[in-house]
């Protein structure tokens, strides 16, 4: 039974585990995404998120505290520079774990990608596109639809109504022409000759 066992030891001693998580955290901060096993990714998330929270407060004390854990100057510069700038308004949840369908060839371990949420440009672009699309594709059953709704929202309904008659052109239908009735098997050409 594993009651009350909060730490996954990952089959390593404490010093080995801390060194491994420190190296993985450094790689995550520098490269913004790391491919690893699911168990290591979950352990890394618990390890790195408090460091990211401390980086939001750029003081000498927080820098020393984080450096004691990471032991890498390049990752410190990146963490307190661009990463802290992007996560400044986020109240937590700085990492995302995306499970991969393929398993590792040697031991069949479940693989995943752990990444910093604010640095995945494709997902951010997709999210912004769906937000923009969701606001523009809503349709109304009333006549006028988008033009009338946009006019009411912006307070320019008079301008929209003034433009509406100019936009719709009315064309009269062609004049009615007399039609000839055709008799048994007669073609139009024969009917015209008969007249």
Res 87: pLDDT: 94
Which residues make Cβ contacts (< 8 Å) with residue 12, sequence separation at least 6? 20
- Apex 28 CA angle, 23 and 29, nearest 5: 100
E strand spans, 15-118: 33-37, 95-103, 110-116
Q: Which residues of the chain have pLDDT under 50?
A: 156-162
Question: pTM value?
Answer: 0.65
28 vs 21, 38, 78, CA distance in Å?
10, 15, 11
CATH classification for the domain delimited by 14-121, as one of 3.40.640.10, 3.90.1030.10, 3.40.1410.10, 3.40.50.720: 3.90.1030.10
pLDDT tens-place string over residues 160-180: 444 555 555 566 666 666 666
Instruction: Give the start-to-end residue ranges of the domains of the chain.
Output: 14-121
């Amino acid at each position: 039974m594993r009651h009350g066992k909060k730490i996954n030891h990952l089959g390593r001693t404490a010093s080995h585990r801390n060194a491994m998580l420190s190296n993985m955290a450094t790689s995550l901060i520098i490269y913004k995404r790391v491919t690893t096993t699911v168990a290591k990714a979950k352990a890394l998330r618990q390890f790195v998120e408090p460091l990211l929270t401390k980086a939001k407060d750029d003081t000498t004390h927080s820098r020393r505290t984080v450096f004691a854990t990471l032991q890498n100057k390049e990752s410190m510069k990146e963490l307190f520079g661009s990463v802290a700038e992007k996560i400044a308004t986020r109240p937590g949840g700085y990492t995302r774990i995306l499970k991969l369908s393929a398993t590792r060839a040697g031991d069949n371990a479940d693989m995943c990608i752990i990444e910093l949420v604010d640095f995945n440009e494709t997902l951010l672009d997709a999210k912004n596109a769906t937000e923009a699309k969701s606001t523009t594709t809503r349709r109304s059953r009333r006549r006028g639809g988008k033009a009338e709704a946009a006019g009411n929202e912006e307070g320019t309904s008079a301008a929209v109504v003034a433009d509406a008659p100019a936009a719709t052109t009315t064309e009269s239908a062609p004049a009615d022409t007399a039609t000839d009735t055709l008799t048994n098997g007669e073609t139009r050409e024969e009917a015209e000759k008969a007249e």
